[in-house]
Amino acid sequence: MQVTNSRQFLKKMMPIRRMSLVCLLSGLTFSLSAGLATIGASPSRDIQIFTEPPFFSPNETTISVGTPLTWKNRTHEPHSIVSNDCRLGNTCSFDSGFLSPNARFSLPQLNPGRYPYHCGIHPFMRGLLTIQPPQSFPSSDI
Ligand SMILES: [Cu+2]
C-alpha cells in the first residue's frame, strides 16, 4: 500500500517537475535574448518638460532610429507632446494627449526624419526631434 502511494505521489509530481524545468529553461532563454537585445541597442534618452524656456530640455534632440525616447513632465500642470504634422482628423507622427504632472510619454517607433513638435495646450512650447537612419560603421582596413 505504501509503495502504491509513493508511486502515485511520483506520478503526481512528475508534471510539476517537468513544468519547473520548462519554466527554468524559458527563463534562461528569456534572459539570454534580453541580454542580446541590450547589446548594440542605443541607450535610452529623456526630454524633460519645464514651464520655463526652453520648455523641452534638451530642446533639440537627435537620436538614431529605434532609440527609446521618453518625455517627462517635471511641472505641476498638464502638457502634451504633439508632432507639428498633426492636423484635425489626420493621422500624425505622435500625440501624447494630456500628460499629467510627473507623467511620461514614450515616443512610438518612427521612420528617420525631422519632427518639429509643440505642446498642444501651450503652443509656444516648441521642440525639434531628429531621427537619423541606422548608423553604418566604416569597414576596417585589412
Ligand atoms: Cu504645455
CA of 44 to the centre of ligand 1 (A): 23
pLDDT at 89: 73
The CATH number of residue 98's host domain is: 2.60.40.420
pLDDT of 135: 73
Judge if 73 and 13 occupy the same domain: no
Domain membership of residue 141 (yes or no) is no
> Shortest CA distance to 125 belongs to which of 66, 63, 78?
78
Residues 75 and 29 in one domain: no
Asked if 81 and 102 sit in the same domain, the reply is: yes
Q: State the pLDDT at residue 88.
A: 74
Q: Return the HEC string of the chain.
A: CHHHHHHHHHHHHHHHHHHHHHHHHHHHHHHHHHHHHHCCCCCCEEEEECCCCCCEECCEEEEECCCCEEEEECCCCCECCEECCCCCCCCCCCECCCECCCCEEECCCCCCEEEEEECCCCCCCEEEEEEECCCCCCCCCC
Please report, in tens digits, the pLDDT of each residue of the chain (142 residues total): 454 455 554 455 555 454 444 444 444 444 444 444 444 567 899 999 999 999 999 999 999 999 999 999 999 999 999 999 998 777 899 999 999 999 999 999 999 999 999 999 999 999 999 999 987 666 665 5
- By the 10 Å C-beta count (0-12 exposed, 13-18 middle, 19+ buried), 81 is classed as buried
d(CA 116, CA 113): 10
CA 42 / ligand 1 centre spacing (Å): 28
Tell me, yes or no, whether 21 and 71 share the same domain. Answer: no
Q: 26 with 59, same domain?
A: no
Q: How far apart are CA 142 and CA 57, in angstroms?
A: 43
CA 113 to centroid of ligand 1, rounded, Å: 24
Strand partners, 104: 72
* Cα 95 to ligand 1 centre (Å): 13
Residues 78 and 116 in one domain: yes
Cβ atoms of residues 120 and 83 within 8 Å? no
Domain ranges, residue 95: 45-132
Same domain, 4 and 67: no
How many CB atoms lie under 10 A from the CB of residue 80? 20
Indicate the number of domains in the chain.
Answer: 2
User: Which residue do the cell numbers 537619423 mark?
Assistant: 132
